[in-house]
Structure 1
Amino acid sequence: MPPAAATNLAHKPPDGGWGWAVVVAAFISIGFSYAFPKSLTIYFKEIQEYFSVSYSEIAWLSSVMLASMYAGGPVSSILVNRYGSRPVVMLGGLMVSAAMVLSSFGTTIIHLYLCVGVIGGFGLAFNLQPALTIIGTYFQAKRPLANGLAMTGSPVFLSILAPLNQFLFDSYGWRGSFLILGSIVLNCCVAGALMRPVHKQVASKPSSPLPKFNKAVDEGAAADASMQTADSDPEERRHEGKGPSQASKLADFSLFKHRGFLIYLTGNVVMFFGFFAPVVFLAPYAKHQGIDEYSAAFLLTIFALVDMFIRPFTGFLGNTRRIRPKIQYFFSFAVSYNGICHLLFPLASGYSGLVVYAVFFGVGFGMVSALLFEVLMDLVGAPRFSSALGLVTIIECGPVLLGPPMLGALVDTFGEYKYLYVTCGVLMLAPGLFFFIMHYFNYKKLKEEQKPEAAVETRRPGETVELKTNDEASK
């Protein structure tokens, strides 16, 4: 699992310059993609009463939106590979805007499922994936930091949208609020306009294979350079040798033979059953406890503020020499920490207890969110990231769709929220432990595979070496 897999790009990423403007654009695009479904929970109690539906039925609204966002991943991947990030993000902004305007005229909960959930969710997919993909083309040595800063858009937007939505609801009702939100989300089109394609300055060929990987880090630290050389994934170098046509495949199904990808996918499928539900039900639970609407909305703001500062800090830590070579362990810790937070939720009593929970949950959620896509890029490399992300999101849309309604059914059945949060804790802690164990063996296997390849490269510095994939080596 290479710490700087982006070295396999056909160009040398600038690691700065206009790339920071792209990070700002990704900040806006990702912010709307993740914060929008969460912020709409402010309207859930009123919409639930308006249409006379149950907790599980109202939970389907955010679930359908998130699931559509994930299900739209492969379509977004194909469009990005074909047209680039800029037009796809702008199209996504228009779709979400149209979805909110149409939903303001809704007469049934099914109408909201179709407009907010399906149309809006696909629009968010066209915002999310291009923003994540384009960062990998602009950054290499500073990629974890750039990803961390871009992912900070989610908590920043959530901390703004949560109280804003409560104000809009009090002033205009949920229908008028949806109309106004439809105009606000058009800012995604502005973000898309900033995502101009990277100027692909092809790097000159090195005299030997080893310095090729060291050139990626022009930070000046020799230790960083040697780290990148030692940890480069042989499968990624084999993939590079097959030419640009291989890297630009619309759907790279060979990833299902990639050991690290399968570990990531297996753990994430379980994790996503309990990942979003605690956020979705936080404000409704507070209102159920008799807490006023603004105080309930403020819990999401507290959660978002903590999340906001944790994400860039996590990106900074992930970029350090000690953590980046083993960043998968850092991700495993973040997932396990979330599970422990949810298991301890029943101990939170009163509003002060919920504030403490929101703080600790914000720390864990921020760590997972900042690392979620960085560790995937670390596993498969930047050239295959777009295809990998498309495959991951289409599979994860199942747990994203079913998780909150299934857990909401626990509230309908028992009339209490503690069972919901304990179940989420188990669904997060189990994959966290799974990641720790599997990545230990994966790192060990990669280290064994790299030793003979390093010896071959040292003996034949001027020759092209055909390297086996991790899976071929394991056979």
Structure 2
Amino acid sequence: MKKNKIFYGWWIVAGAVVLTSTLVPGVVAMANKFLIPVTEEMGISRSAFTLSNTILQAMGIFLSPFVAKKITKGNLRNIQSIAIVIFTLAYASYGLAKSPIHLYMSSFVIGICYLFSTIIPISIVITNWFEKKRGLAMSIAMTGIGIGGAILSPLITFFLNTFGWRSSYMILAAIFLVIALPISLFVFKKKPEEMGLKPYGADDQLDIGQGNKKVFKTETVNLPTKSIFGKPFFVVLLIGMVLNGIINSGALGQFPPALEGLQGPAIAAGVMSIYSLVGIAGKLLVGWINDRWGVVVSSIFGCGTFGLAFVFMLFGDRLFAVYAMAIVFGLGIAIGSVSPPLVTSSIFGTEQYGEVYGYVSSAIQIGMSVGSLLVASMYDATGSYRIAWIMLLVLTACTLMSWIGAYYQSRKYCAGATVEKVVTEG
């Protein structure tokens, strides 16, 4: 009877979809939907507004290792629930801002709570719950970013046109709280052992035909966590994550205003909805490719399609180019959310993952904190995004090379430990 029940880990994945469809796009992909109305009313530059998002992302640079460690050892429900409540209150306070300083103060608080409530706990929990089909589970969890983006893009446009940007922030904060908080309180469980369960696939071992003995193999780095920091593969991995943060922040942060400037608000909203929807399939595809052919192939696919988006944006004054961009960007958008945990878990085992991913997340946040601001500053200086798109295309190629290099360099430190386990027949 038990085996016919849905494995609870899939409910964890469903809850993660809800979180990633609300809190994540609210501060990443959709943040700059507010750029034009806020800058026009306050009389500030685009880079001054974008600095608020830079501050938000920068919190992860120093705090991610602490957050990952705290979540790994602490009470997940209490930590995440409190973070979600404070997150939404601070998000609502954007609507009260009278100056950029107020925006920056709210972003400081949101940045801390974002770490405790979204990607870090989700990646740790899913890694704990899944040994088999981890790529699929992670990709499904991150499809929420695309689902939320597709819904929020026209919804925010409607709110802005109907209620203005101040009320829109407050309405969104209320929506986020009502939807996200119950997931943390009632759905998320940090480890399957808390429910008397095992990770999905934990019992799928290789029968070697020796009576009732079965074995399984692990192919991850076999080094103490403290000793990895000086290893070339880990340095290269972190460099790749920094670059990944830059290209994702630059694209997600500046595509909305760039599209609006090139094609107008209506077409921009439609294109954003398209790449958000295609992103759902893109994330699932990257996860499936990862499970079937490994992290190298999934990284090539993700970075390749992501890079093509910048090529098409160079011709963004033509309608066909922005729609082509929406397709390839949607297919590659998974490299910002799905690929980092998959690349990390392909190198490190479950025991080390939580602690190591804190440093990986810090590296991503370094890139996220400067990417959008860098692109906005280049626009302010030149009046065009052209040079920025070329730069991001080159950095996408460098991201791919770093990930592949780190993976292959790490193989020399892997111990394929064959672990025997006696299984009682019957």
Q: Same fold (TM over 0.5)?
A: yes
Give the unaligned 5+ runs of structure 2: 209-214
How far, CA to CA, are the matches of 2:62 and 2:376 in structure 1? 22
1:211-253 deviation digits (Å, cap 9, x = unpaired): xxxx83538999xxxxx945523607xx6xxxxxxxxxxxx54
The corresponding residue for 2:332 is: 364
Choose from 366, 375, 388 the match for 1:407.
375
Answer yes or no: is the 8 Å Cα contact 1:340–1:429 preserved in 2: no
Choose from 263, 270, 276 the match for 2:243.
270
Q: 1:430 to 1:172 in 2, by over 3 A?
A: same
Choose from 71, 81, 84 the match for 1:90.
81
Q: 1:45 to 1:439 in 2, by over 3 A?
A: same
Choose from 146, 149, 159 the match for 2:150.
159
Answer yes or no: is the 8 Å Cα contact 2:90–2:109 preserved in 1: yes
1:78 Cα deviation from its structure 2 partner: 3.1
Q: Return the letter of the residue paired with 2:161.
A: D
Q: Return the letter of the residue paired with 1:271.
A: N
Answer yes or no: is the 8 Å Cα contact 1:299–1:354 preserved in 2: yes
The TM-score normalised by the length of structure 1 is 0.78
Q: Return the letter of the residue paired with 1:190.
A: P
How far, CA to CA, are the matches of 2:396 and 2:316 in structure 1? 19
How far, CA to CA, are the matches of 2:22 and 2:62 in structure 1? 17
Answer yes or no: is the 8 Å Cα contact 1:69–1:123 preserved in 2: no
Choose from 241, 247, 254 the match for 1:281.
254
How far, CA to CA, are the matches of 1:309 and 1:395 in structure 2? 27
Q: Is 1:68 the counterpart of 2:59 in the alignment? A: yes
1:393-443 deviation digits (Å, cap 9, x = unpaired): 223332221221122111111111111111111111122133334534444
Q: 1:104 to 1:153 in 2, by over 3 A?
A: same
Among all aligned residue pairs of Structure 1 and Structure 2, give the percentage whose two residues are the same amino acid. 19
The corresponding residue for 1:434 is: 402
The corresponding residue for 1:384 is: 352
The corresponding residue for 1:210 is: none
The corresponding residue for 2:131 is: 140
The corresponding residue for 1:191 is: 183
How far, CA to CA, are the matches of 1:376 and 1:39 in structure 2? 27
How far, CA to CA, are the matches of 1:16 and 1:368 in structure 2? 29
1:275 Cα deviation from its structure 2 partner: 1.9
The corresponding residue for 2:212 is: none
In angstroms, what is the RMSD of aligned CA positions?
Answer: 3.0
1:61 Cα deviation from its structure 2 partner: 2.5
Give the unaligned 5+ runs of structure 1: 1-14, 204-214, 223-227, 240-251, 463-475
Choose from 104, 113, 121 the match for 1:123.
113
Aligned residues: 406
The corresponding residue for 1:317 is: 289
Task: Give the secondary-structure state (helix, strand or coil) at the position aligned to 2:314.
Answer: helix
How far, CA to CA, are the matches of 1:346 and 1:154 in structure 2? 25
1:164-208 deviation digits (Å, cap 9, x = unpaired): 1111111111111111111111122111121134342598xxxxx
1:134 Cα deviation from its structure 2 partner: 1.0
Q: Is 1:303 the counterpart of 2:303 in the alignment? A: no
Answer yes or no: is the 8 Å Cα contact 1:32–1:124 preserved in 2: no
The corresponding residue for 1:23 is: 13
1:35-70 deviation digits (Å, cap 9, x = unpaired): 112212111111111111122222222222233355
Q: 1:197 to 1:316 in 2, by over 3 A?
A: same
The corresponding residue for 2:140 is: 149
1:104 Cα deviation from its structure 2 partner: 1.4
Answer yes or no: is the 8 Å Cα contact 2:287–2:298 preserved in 1: no
Q: Is 1:36 the counterpart of 2:26 in the alignment? A: yes
1:136 Cα deviation from its structure 2 partner: 1.6
How far, CA to CA, are the matches of 1:423 and 1:328 in structure 2? 23
Answer yes or no: is the 8 Å Cα contact 2:135–2:290 preserved in 1: yes
Q: Is 1:170 the counterpart of 2:161 in the alignment? A: yes
Q: Return the letter of the residue paired with 2:189.
A: R
Q: 1:301 to 1:84 in 2, by over 3 A?
A: same
Q: 1:431 to 1:109 in 2, by over 3 A?
A: same
Answer yes or no: is the 8 Å Cα contact 1:42–1:297 preserved in 2: no
Answer yes or no: is the 8 Å Cα contact 1:19–1:138 preserved in 2: yes
Answer yes or no: is the 8 Å Cα contact 2:39–2:49 preserved in 1: yes
1:296 Cα deviation from its structure 2 partner: 1.5
Point out the more displaced range, 87-96 or 299-308. 87-96
Q: Return the letter of the residue paired with 1:304.
A: S
Task: Give the secondary-structure state (helix, strand or coil) at the position aligned to 1:416.
Answer: coil
How far, CA to CA, are the matches of 2:375 and 2:170 in structure 1? 30
Write the mapping of 1:318-333 to structure 2, written as runs, cut at 5 A. Answer: 318-320=290-292, 323-324=293-294, 327-333=295-301
Answer yes or no: is the 8 Å Cα contact 1:60–1:405 preserved in 2: yes
1:33 Cα deviation from its structure 2 partner: 4.0
Q: 1:220 to 1:301 in 2, by over 3 A?
A: farther
Q: 1:32 to 1:261 in 2, by over 3 A?
A: farther
1:301 Cα deviation from its structure 2 partner: 0.8
How far, CA to CA, are the matches of 1:284 and 1:202 in structure 2? 47
Choose from 212, 219, 235 the match for 1:232.
219
